[in-house]
Amino acid sequence: MRFPPRITRIGAAAAVLSALLVGGTVTATPAAAAVGSICYGDLPSQAYDTLELIEQGGPYPYSQDGTVFQNREGVLPGQASGYYHEYTVITPGSSTRGARRIVTGEEYQEDYYTSNHYTTFDLIDFGC
C-alpha cells in the first residue's frame, strides 16, 4: 500500500496560469513562504533510502512511518487533514527516530525534507 496516492500538480499550475492570464496576482500564503527548497542531490544519503521506501510502499523501519502529518506547526501550506504523511529519515548513531523526516503531500513529487523536527521544511527539487 502506498501513502499517499500521487497525482499531478495540474490544479496549482492552472491556478497560477489563470491568475497571470487574467491580470490577477499570485500571492504565497505565510506558510508557503516559510518553505525553502533543496536539490535532490543535496539530501543526506539516508533520505534517498526513505524516498525509495515511499515509492515501494514500505516496509518502513518505524511504525509511525506513513502516518498522517498534522502540520500543527503550520509551516507547510494549509491542506485538509490527511493530505500530508510523514516518514523517518534515519540518523546514523541515533538511538531514536531522530529529527529528520520526509513529509509527502498528495501531489506528485510534493516531498518535503526537514532536518530539525518540523521547524523548517525544504521542498525537494528533483530537477537538480
Q: Locate cell 509551516: which residue?
A: 75
C-alpha span between 109 and 20 (Å, rounded): 24
C-alpha cell at 36: 525553502
Instruction: Return all residues near 107 (Cβ < 8 A) that are at least 6 apart.
Output: 6, 7, 8, 9, 11, 12
C-alpha cell at 100: 529528520
Residues designated as active site: 86, 117
Q: Position 106: which residue type?
A: E
